[in-house]
Structure 1
Amino acid sequence: MRSIWKGSIGFGLVNIPVKLYSAVQNSTLDLDMLDSRDHSHIRFLRVNEHTHKEVPYDKIVRAYKLDDDYVVLDEQDFEDASPEKTKLIEIESFVEAVDINPMYYETSYYAEPDAKNSKAYILLLEALKKTGKAGLGRFVLRNSESLCIIHPVEKALVVSRIRFAQELRSTDDLKLPDATVSKKELDMGLALIKQYTEDFDVSKFKDEYTAELLKIIKAKAKGKRPTIKKLKVAKTSSDDLYDQLMQSLNTRKGA
Structure 2
Amino acid sequence: MPRVVWKGAITFGLVHIPVTLRAAQRRNDLDFDWLDRRDMAPVGYRRINKRTGKPIDSEHIVKGYQYKKGEYVLMSDEDFRRANPEATQTVDILGFVDAGEISPAYFETPYYLEAGKRGEKGYALLREVLRRSGRAGIAKVVIHGKQHLAALLVDGNVLMLDIMRFADEVLEPTDIYVPDEDLKAVGVGARELEMAERLVDEMSQPWEPAQYRDTYREDLLTQIEARIDAGETHTLTPAGDEPAPSGQGAQVIDLMAALRQSVQRAEGGQKKSAGGRGGKVKPMHGSGDKPDAPPPAPAKRGAKNAGATAQRTSRSSGTARKAVAKTSTRRGTAGKTAARKRA
Give the TM-score category using the shorter length. Answer: 0.7 to 0.9
Which residue of 228, 246, 253 maps to 2:260? 246
Quote the residue 1:49 is aligned against.
50
Q: Is the 8 A contact 1:238 1:244 kept in 2?
A: no
Secondary structure of 2:257's counterpart equals: helix
Q: C-alpha distance in 1, partners of 2:268/2:259?
A: 14
Matched residue, 1:10: 11
Counting only pairs closer than 5 Å after superposition, residues 31-110 of structure 1 correspond to structure 2 as 31-68=32-69, 69-110=71-112
Look up the match of 1:232: none
Deviation at 1:250, TM superposition (A): 1.6
CA shift at 1:218, angstroms?
Answer: 0.8
The number of aligned residues is 244
Aligned residue number for residue 207 of structure 1 = 214
**What CA deviation, in whole Å up to 9, does each residue of 1:157-202 have, x standing for no partner?**
2111011111111222334455613223333222222222222221
Larger Rg: 2
Aligned amino acid, residue 75 of structure 2:
L
Under a length normalisation based on structure 2, what TM-score does the superposition of the two structures give? 0.65
Hey, what does 2:199 align to over in structure 1?
192
Q: Verify the 8 A CA contact 1:89 1:138 in the aligned structure 2.
A: yes
Q: Is the 8 A contact 2:18 2:119 kept in 1?
A: no
Residues 198-232 of structure 1 show CA distances to partners (whole Å, capped at 9, x for unaligned) of 2222121111111111111111112289xxxxxxx
Structure 1 letter corresponding to 2:223: I
Higher helix share: 2
Matched residue, 2:189: 183
Q: Deviations over 1:122-164 (max 9, x none)?
A: 2212222222222110011111110111122233221110111
Partner AA of 1:254 in structure 2: G
Change (3 A) 1:170 1:103: same
Q: Within 5 Å, which residues of 2 pair with 1:94-243?
A: 94-177=96-179, 180-184=186-190, 185-223=192-230, 239-243=253-257
Q: Contact (CA 8 Å) 1:27, 1:207: kept in 2 or not?
A: no
Q: Aligned letter for 1:101? A: S
RMSD: 2.3
Higher relative contact order (CA 8 A, sep 6+): 1
Which range moved further: 178-187 or 149-158?
A: 178-187
Q: Secondary structure at the match of 2:186?
A: coil
Instruction: Considering fraction of residues, name the structure with more strand.
Output: 1
**Structure 1 residue 50, shift from structure 2 partner:** 0.8
Match of 1:159, as an amino acid?
L
TM-score (normalizing by structure 1):
0.85
Task: Give, in angstroms, the shift of residue 81 of structure 1.
Answer: 4.1
The runs of 5 or more residues in structure 1 that have no matched partner are 226-236
